[in-house]
Chains A and B, each alone.
Chain A
Amino acid sequence: MPEEFKPGCQRPAIKRPSLETESTDQITVKEAKSSMVKVGKPAPDFTASAYLAGKFVNVSLSEFKGKWVLLCFYPGDFTFV
């Protein structure tokens, strides 16, 4: 189940493993990952803050193992399409 959090005055901090260490290796890895995924290969895992049914929660893709997931990206809230 997603873990709820209480935001302060700032936007929620971005939670991800690579921010815990600040080596140049990590930056290189992040840039190298910026390419199209492939079908038949594992979906890259991530953790993100989210809004769900009145609460602010942290959601990880790995929580959905055992279920089908439809992951939809879109340009922005309050856009038209």
Chain B
Amino acid sequence: MLSCSVDSVFVHKMWNDHELSKMINRDIPFAMLSDQDGYIGKLYGIYDEDSGVETRGRFIIDPDGIIQGFEVLTPPVGRNVKESFRQIQAFQLVRASEGTEATPSGWRPGKQTLKPGPDLVGKVWEVWKVSEAFED
């Protein structure tokens, strides 16, 4: 986990010490990156030149350094952390299966995966139900 904003490392320390550590009763356990001129944000395409801040961009990067997914929100709406974890778990499963399994809509750990191949063409309706996409 890496977090990144245009704030200096000194402000990161103050935010950790005076607010965040009080929310979780410990220090933030990951590196809080400082991107003072938005260089990293520009690299990833989420820096807002008009306001001079990063938008809420979230990137999942695999062990080979490949971007597997991202989500970008404007500042007023927060992210769903559980959804980020769910996506990482899904990507980990697919990677471990070496591409033989895929996770359908609504998948979470423990639920059925799909094994794409000739036998599954036109048969998804038999093994997967729409209601599974809406389950918690």
CB <8 Å contact, A40 and B66: yes
CB-CB under 8 A from A56, the residues of chain B are 9, 13
CB <8 Å contact, B9 and A72: no
Tally of B interface residues using CB under 8 Å = 65
CB <8 Å contact, A33 and B42: yes
Tally of A interface residues using CB under 8 Å = 50
The complex places the Cα of A48 from the Cα of B8 at a distance, in Å, of: 11
Which B residues from 29 to 46 make CB contacts under 8 A with A? 29-37, 39-46
A residues at B contact (CB < 8 Å):
2, 7, 11-12, 14, 16, 30, 33-46, 48-54, 56-57, 59, 61-62, 64-79, 81
B residues at A contact (CB < 8 Å):
1-16, 19, 27-37, 39-47, 51, 53-70, 75-79, 84, 88, 91-92
